[in-house]
Structure 1
Amino acid sequence: MSSYPAGGPPQRTPQTTTLRQRLADLRGPAVQPRPLDARALAALAANPGCGRRALLDGAGVDKTALAQALGSPAPFGQSQFAIVRGNSFEAKVKGDGGAELLRLVHERLGAGAEPPGPAVPVPDLTAAGPEGRAARTALALREATAAGTWTLLDHPMLALEVAGTPAYLEPDAVVVHPDGRWTVVEIKSFPMIDGSADAAKVGAAARQAAVYVLALERTAEKLPGSTVGQQVVLVCPKDFSNLPTAALVDVRRERAVTRRQLERLTRVEELAAALPEGTCFDPARPVEELTEAVSAVTAAYAPECLAACELAFHCRERARDADEVTALGRSLRGELGGLTTVESALAAASGAGCAEDPIAAALHQAARLRAEALTLVPARTSPEAASCPC
């Protein structure tokens, strides 16, 4: 019996083989590809216009090593304390066969269904390598859906094709409902106080969960009778305790954005073809050569990159050197329209910009009003103004 899920193993075309060879040349002949994970794919969705990240992630380049080689290492990732705390909380949530986790899922999404029993199946998903684990997960999902019973999949392995190569993703849990629905469960260690959590952290969790939903949908396409829920269950500590609580997060928007970005990753071949011959991102190369190679790929830096990308410090330095307004934030960049540099924005504010440009005119008007407001400050703070009853 084949160990592959329905549809068989992914087929390799000559174009795919050529692209893989090209990406291997970009990494370096002796450098193993760094596999994409859900965090990386979610970060891509958060900054879809960055060709630099799309190419480097698509090629499997180790951006942490690359940033260190460029002299701009980023303190990126979770602290060891946060990792230990997160693992401890996840173990607590999944304890006793996942009884508490399934209770929370039933409480949020199980309306009309029988509550999970005391002995819910938790299939063994161990197998050789990520490809074997993904096939074993697909088989477990098929069996659970056919059985029509509550089933908990602990750390399943899902496959999602990205730029012609499979990316293997591992959500915290997937719950199979008796009606054939599949629900992604994300377990985070940040607190949920009075029923709500930090919006930025919830947004990051939603983007990450959306990647899992996409991968799960690819599996569901091959298994009739199964559906993937567009709401994920986010489990966090309640208030200031270590007791778990849950909330539903609708990830339809994040899923749509992520899907569009993954479709754009087919442009990796175009981005690679546009690079000069011999371009390589091997961290062992000289700094000057690496700097030139990285600069050959367009980037879309924004301050938000500092929390999501290992190359953020390098890109920020280059954006500042180029006087780009993107270094000040995406919202400001969007408001300034065709004024792409700080110098051009200051020139427009001083009145040197094109009078026919509505953005330049508005910027000049704002600068004029600000200057007038500043001239009124001393008058309002004078002794006479202070004694005025008005």
Structure 2
Amino acid sequence: MPPPRTRGTALRQRLAELRGPDVPAKALDARALAALAANPGCKRRAILDGAGVNKAALAGALGSPSVFGQSQFALTRGNAFEAKVKADGGAELLRLVHERLDPGAEPPTTKSTPDLTASGPEGRTARTALALREATEQARGTWTFLDHPMLALDVAGSTAFLEPDAVVVHPDGGWTVVEIKSFPMLDGSADPAKVGAAARQAAVYVLALEEVAARLDPAPRVRHRVLLVCPKDFSNLPTASAVDVRKQRAVTSRQLARLTRIQDIADALPEGTCFSPELPAERLTAAVEAVPAAYAPECLAACELAFHCRARSRAAGAVTTLGRSLRAELGGLSTVEDVLSAARGESGDPDDPAVAALRRAARLRTEALAGRGATCR
């Protein structure tokens, strides 16, 4: 067996080949990781994200352009709000952390803002780890604000570099993740769907922070209550809410552990497979179809390739097109044709609960239609 360094180098070379010659890798962020963890059975997304493929460009080249992602206006507004929250060395941000998460601690009158500048993601990751260790060892009543630290997380054998909005080290040495979003909190509450997405994203950062903490002795406490900072009502003034991400952290950790290792997926691909958007459409389509996908309607809100995968899933008559919950209820019936055939009594085991339910539903439908026809006459 080759040594780990050799295996890692070989994997990086293989992923570069899949991405295409001279095509820069697209960083895998926490938003993408949370979406990947929500659909761990999708090998297509796992290998594309692991190889750093730009899925938006890929979708456009396949003829199914993506509409997934934030508008330029939303990005600009979000950046302006984040700058306002972090102004004056993060004074307002630290005030909100103290008020919402740690009111018993000393007020953040004394604070530290370490410089996290370094070369490349590996350098920034090492600099962040050093800053966290120093801040924890020297806490003693001092609050430390880390602006855009860099964290690393192993995902199916590939390293993902993650950049949370902020991490705060409390005076007692505990660590807190801060998520800054531009959607509003109206009367103290925000859109539950958006809060849920932010919580899943923050859970990824918590997992990465826990890996940093585990390398310290004693290991500092990574708090599972993160701070979500949003505009208050219809203003640009920041307000905040504590969000418990223990459930999201547990689910994300379990789902990421279930991911097939990227090396295994890459080894199973035909020689010469490449996902470069510059390739002819026929060759590119064949490359994408060589990797199994696990499409579900939820992908439309989380993946740039969703339209392409939906079209293929519909063409194949896959029941996953109708939703994961329905797919789970149908057991071994994986296509719409299988379902209709079982309902008509042409196939399927009568003792199978799914088949029995389908036949009963078909019988009730026939009786209802017959009754309606008699009433009309």
* Shared fold (TM-score, shorter chain, > 0.5): yes
In the other structure, the counterpart of 2:115 is: 124
* Alignment map for 1:42-61 (pairs within 5 Å): 42-61=34-53
* Counterpart residue identity of residue 202, structure 1: V
* Alignment map for 1:130-169 (pairs within 5 Å): 130-148=121-139, 149-169=142-162
Structure 2 residue corresponding to 1:190, chosen from 162, 183, 190: 183
1:164–1:266: 8 Å Cα contact kept in structure 2? no
- SS of the residue aligned with 1:78? coil
**CA offset at residue 102 of structure 1?**
1.5
- SS of the residue aligned with 2:261? helix
* Counterpart residue identity of residue 296, structure 2: A
2:342–2:358: 8 Å Cα contact kept in structure 1? yes
Unmatched 5+ stretches in structure 2: none
Tell me the number of residue pairs that the alignment of Structure 1 and Structure 2 aligns.
371
Structure 2 residue corresponding to 1:212, chosen from 190, 205, 217: 205
CA deviation vs aligned residue, 1:290-345 (integer Å, no higher than 9, x gap): 11111111100011111111111110110011000111111111111111111122
1:94–1:101: 8 Å Cα contact kept in structure 2? yes
Structure 2 residue corresponding to 1:356, chosen from 323, 334, 351: 351
2:185–2:230: 8 Å Cα contact kept in structure 1? yes
**CA offset at residue 27 of structure 1?**
1.8
- The whole-number CA distance in structure 1 between the counterparts of 2:79 and 2:370 is 58
**CA offset at residue 129 of structure 1?**
2.3
In the other structure, the counterpart of 1:249 is: 243
Q: 1:239 to 1:380 in 2, by over 3 A?
A: farther
**CA offset at residue 78 of structure 1?**
0.3
**CA offset at residue 266 of structure 1?**
5.6
Q: 1:265 to 1:22 in 2, by over 3 A?
A: farther
2:274 pairs with 1:259: no
**CA offset at residue 254 of structure 1?**
2.1
2:41–2:259: 8 Å Cα contact kept in structure 1? no
Instruction: Please report the RMSD computed on the Cα atoms of aligned residues, expressed in angstroms.
Output: 2.3
Structure 1 residue corresponding to 2:278, chosen from 271, 280, 284: 284
Q: Percent identity?
A: 72
2:84 pairs with 1:92: yes
2:38–2:255: 8 Å Cα contact kept in structure 1? no
1:58–1:265: 8 Å Cα contact kept in structure 2? no
* Alignment map for 1:313-332 (pairs within 5 Å): 313-332=307-326
- SS of the residue aligned with 1:333? helix
- The whole-number CA distance in structure 1 between the counterparts of 2:181 and 2:152 is 22
The TM-score, its normalising length taken from structure 2, stands at 0.91
Q: 1:113 to 1:378 in 2, by over 3 A?
A: farther
2:85–2:92: 8 Å Cα contact kept in structure 1? yes
- The whole-number CA distance in structure 2 between the counterparts of 1:123 and 1:240 is 33
- The whole-number CA distance in structure 1 between the counterparts of 2:356 and 2:257 is 39
The TM-score, its normalising length taken from structure 1, stands at 0.88
Q: 1:123 to 1:349 in 2, by over 3 A?
A: same
2:166 pairs with 1:173: yes
- The whole-number CA distance in structure 2 between the counterparts of 1:237 and 1:373 is 53
**CA offset at residue 370 of structure 1?**
4.1
In the other structure, the counterpart of 2:265 is: 271
Q: 1:265 to 1:348 in 2, by over 3 A?
A: closer
2:343–2:358: 8 Å Cα contact kept in structure 1? yes
- The whole-number CA distance in structure 2 between the counterparts of 1:372 and 1:79 is 51
- The whole-number CA distance in structure 2 between the counterparts of 1:77 and 1:379 is 53
- The whole-number CA distance in structure 2 between the counterparts of 1:370 and 1:179 is 65
